[in-house]
Chain A
Amino acid sequence: MFQPDAFIEALYLVLNWNTLMWLTIGVFVGVGLGAIPGLTTSTGVALMLPLTFTLDITGALGLVIGLYKGALFGGSISAISFATPGAPDSAATVFDGYRMTQKGQGRKALLTSLYSSVTADSLSDVLVILIAPMMALAALQFGPAERTWLMVVAIALLGALSGKHVAKGLFAAAIGLYIGTIGSDPMGGASRNTFGLAWLRDGISLVPLIIGLFAMSRMLEQAVELLHESRLGHKVERRMNDLFSNKEDGLTFREYLSNWREMGIGLGVGSFVGMLPGLGATVASFLSYGIAKRVLPHKKIGTGVMGGVAAAESGNNATAGPTLVPLLAFGIPGSATAALIGGALMLQGITPSPRMFELHADVIYALFTILILANLFNLVIGRGFAFFYAKLGGLPKPVLVPTIMVLAVIGSFATQGNPYDVGVMLFFGFIGFFMRRFGIPEAPLIITFLIAPMLEESMRRAVLISGGDWLGGLFNSPLSLILMGLAVLVLVLSYRMRFSERLEAMAHEEEEESRGANSESHR
């Protein structure tokens, strides 16, 4: 199966100045682009597409893959430094990453993000290289019914993200469920829930929703806080000088290793989610974050700790390699980026299909080599960018808040060039501001917004295929039954954990009341 000749040929193809140069450019542009809100991988690759026409196969692959991996990491830089996820897949990084920045640990957060991204990404690439065909066969077992149950499991797992006050978490999930139905019916195609506004027919786009809920809402909150203080006026010269000093903590190797469980969760979840077409890196990072939070309660994820950043970032980066599995094994583009990589291969006259392993083994090995190399480049280039942005994150708030608002506005527009997206972003900025004040968490909203429409689509498809037979449609294979069992198990377990937590909390509360404490100090 392994062809040494082809592998050596691949090394010749990859290890030359031309390929390495395009790889560098790809990662550089990718990280830079990823860190700007609204500009995602597919925007970047689309912009570079005309350029790939003129490159040879390895140059084109280097550029596209470098851009892809760079952007996946780049999104976390602005999520950590400015609470503004550069792309939806780094939204889950905001929770702990931005808290760390507020605590003065921005540099540590960025390094955690970089190292866990690169670790999970490299390991998932190795996984792809070793067992791509097996992964692909496993992915095929997931038909509409199995996908339906998988989504149920995902939603059950995310109970972990609903926080202490369950009703508020569930309310957030319900909002996500409702706004996810805005757009058009997945089976009939007729528009629904659009309030007579034609532009809502394509639904609420994820990017403006995330920028509004995560970035704009926080900026509004901070602006309001600043307004309370602003009569005093901020003398900022001293802070500006701090910007060029170098005294924040780095990350020790020990600290990096201490996150091995979070990275393991991210790797597993990301690889699995990545190889199934249609789910995507955003689902992977939220799931990984939620699972880590649930299974590692002692880490206090959510309060601004490295573990939260590591889980979210390893989760989204671990999808990068596996998203190519369906492409390589069957020529199915599993994501927009995979489609563009497939396009780059087609341009060189190579049709992605099972035959590719026989006909163009050198190109396959070159692709694998570039996948691994891109991680190393990401490490070096990403580090440079990360420190630059970490410095910017230290800018005084009266400068930073308006600047991020401007970036949120033009970023929402630039994603698709759709003017209504700006309005959507501002609307959810205000909603997010209220939600934050009222203590409603954002994560359940995003998760149900992403997953509920897929759940609906898979479920209705399963029933349609079985000719309207619900039981036969949804319980048609052992795998469906196993997944359903898993969903029930997760629900029972989390209910029991919640119950024991509640007992603990009640005991705690009584103790407190007896002391007559009336403060929030021990939070």
Chain B
Amino acid sequence: MQHKPGHRAPAGWWRTNQAVGLLIAIGVILLFAYLWQQDWFHREQRDGFILGFFPGLGLAAMLITALALAVDRWRHTAVEEMQSLGWRDLLWSVALSAAALAMYSLMEPLGMLLPMAAFLGLMMLLLGLRPWYLALALAPAISLIILTVFALLGIRLPGAFLPLLI
């Protein structure tokens, strides 16, 4: 998905392409500094290239394009979606990813069904599914359908169906 750059942003500077580009450039430089200090980076391969040459090339390309973002003719614009992006949104996306990870890590000790149904049910409620009893009914039903399909196909999943059961 590509967004047409918006016009001069009334929002703060830190939402503009320039700010983000500079931020990324700083990150890339730090990453490069880290890689440079690694022993493997300078080790020569049998065809004469050092191990770090191609990763370094990738980082150089990232640095150049990030700086280009900071200086090209759209540097002062902020994409529409960036203008509405708040810290809360970023935190939410991290939190939701963490919830998915938690669900995955609980699958082995607790069996597949419970964490999956709990994740589905809580997420549905959180995302605003009403009436609430619909979420409670749908969560276990969807989990059962998913698990049945995978079980029928005979694919190994991260945990057993229920704890202490296969």
Contact = CB atoms under 8 A, between A and B. Distances in A.
A–B contact with Cβ pairs below 8 Å: the answer is: yes
Interface string B2-25: 111111000000000000110010
Given A165-B2, A406-B119, A178 B61 contact: yes
Contact of B126 (A230, A409, A410): A230
Top 7 A-B pairs ranked by shortest CB distance?
A178-B58, A230-B128, A163-B2, A402-B123, A174-B61, A398-B129, A398-B127
B116 A419 contact: no
A338 B153 CA distance: 22
Contacts of B100: 216, 405-406, 408-409, 426
A149 interface: no
B17 to A, nearest CB: 8
A426 B51 contact: no
A426 B158 contact: no
B52 A232 contact: no
Contacts of A139: none
Interface in A420-448: 422-423, 426, 429-430, 433-434, 436-439, 441
B157 A460 contact: no
Contacts of A192: 40-41, 51-52, 54-55
Interface in A385-399: 396-399
A220 to B, nearest CB: 4
B51 to A, nearest CB: 5
**Which interface class (under 10, 10 to 19, 20 to 34, 35 or more) fits A?**
35 or more
Contacts of B157: 410, 413-414
B101 interface: yes
B160 to A, nearest CB: 13
A398 B124 contact: yes
A419 B51 contact: no
A165 B93 contact: no
Contact of B130 (A166, A168, A226, A236): A236
A200 interface: no
B103 to A, nearest CB: 7
Interface in B127-151: 127-130, 134-135, 138, 142-143, 146, 149-150
Interface residues of B, number: 75
Given A410-B146, A422-B101, A438-B20, A233 B55 contact: no
Given A167-B72, A399-B142, 20 more contacts: A39-B155, A95-B1, A167-B21, A167-B65, A171-B62, A173-B61, A175-B62, A177-B61, A178-B62, A227-B126, A233-B128, A399-B124, A401-B123, A422-B101, A437-B85, A439-B1, A439-B2, A439-B82, A464-B47, A520-B6
Interface string A476-519: 00000000000000000000000000000000000000000010
Contact of B40 (A191, A230, A405, A464): A191
A282 B4 CA distance: 27
B68 A167 contact: yes
28 contacts: A36-B149, A164-B5, A170-B68, A171-B68, A171-B69, A178-B61, A181-B58, A191-B40, A193-B52, A193-B55, A220-B93, A223-B123, A226-B127, A227-B92, A233-B128, A234-B129, A406-B142, A406-B143, A407-B146, A413-B157, A414-B150, A426-B100, A430-B97, A437-B79, A437-B85, A438-B79, A452-B58, A520-B4
Interface stretch (A14-22, A182-190, A327-335, A348-356): A182-190
B162 interface: no
Contacts of A518: 7
Interface string B65-79: 110110010100001
A483 B130 CA distance: 59
Interface string A8-45: 00000000000000000000010001001001000100
Given A168-B69, A414-B155, A436-B1, A397 B127 contact: yes
Contacts of A520: 4, 6, 80
Interface in A202-245: 216, 220, 223-224, 226-227, 229-236
Interface of A is mostly: helix
Interface centre among A95, A185, A234, A430 (most CB of B within 10 A): A185
A463 B45 CA distance: 13
Contacts of A166: 72
Given A167-B68, A180-B58, A220-B96, A410 B45 contact: no
Contact of A185 (B48, B51, B138): B51
Nearest to B44: A188
Contacts of A171: 24, 62, 65-66, 68-69
A75 interface: no
Nearest to A401: B127
A413 B104 contact: yes
B114 interface: no
Contacts of B123: 223, 398, 401-402, 405
A429 B95 CA distance: 12
A302 interface: yes
Nearest to A98: B1
B49 interface: yes
B53 to A, nearest CB: 9
A426 B51 CA distance: 28
B97 A429 contact: yes
B43 A438 contact: no
Contact of A232 (B55, B116, B128, B154): B128
A209 to B, nearest CB: 15
A439 B21 CA distance: 12
B106 to A, nearest CB: 11
A11 B116 CA distance: 49
A174 B81 CA distance: 22
B97 A164 contact: no
A47 B2 contact: no
